[in-house]
Amino acid sequence: MVAPRVLIVDDEPNILLPLEFLMRREGYEVRSARDGEEGWQAVQQWRPDLVLLDVMMPQRDGFEVCGLIRSDPALASVRVVMLTAKGRDSDVARGLALGADAYLTKPFATADLVQRVRELLETPR
């Protein structure tokens, strides 16, 4: 069985590195990007099954990247989990309206993240 592909897009190394470790430990194939533009390029080239996407980043923010993913029919099966410190109701509503499958605010419990990722990857789109 091929391991699901998880792309992590976050400009904070203190978040990116632990998430990489956590997702690899769960058995996923992992790549990372350090800003929104690099993340968008990686989505197009690598075609991950799921993207863990920060909102506040240089180049393109996570909202823009999520919108780009959802506007491309070839990427319709890609799951998007927004991970951000922007936890106001309006931010959550915007992320979900753009097509995010889940929206988790930082700080988050790693167990909750792992469970959410597993659920999304096990549910057909």
Location of structure tokens 């930082």:
106
Residue 31: the pLDDT is 97
Which of 114, 122, 116, 123 is closest to 26 using CA atoms?
A: 114
pLDDT tens-place string over residues 34-53: 999 999 999 999 999 999 99
Contact 67, 97 (CB under 8 A): no
pLDDT truncated to tens, each residue of the chain (125 aa)? 789 999 999 999 888 999 999 999 999 999 999 999 999 999 999 999 999 999 888 889 999 999 999 999 999 899 999 988 876 778 778 888 889 999 988 888 899 999 999 999 998 76
Structure tokens at 117: 């990722």
Domains and CATH numbers, the chain: 5-122 (3.40.50.2300)
Give the DSSP letter string of 68-94. HHHH-GGGTT-EEEEEES--SHHHHHH
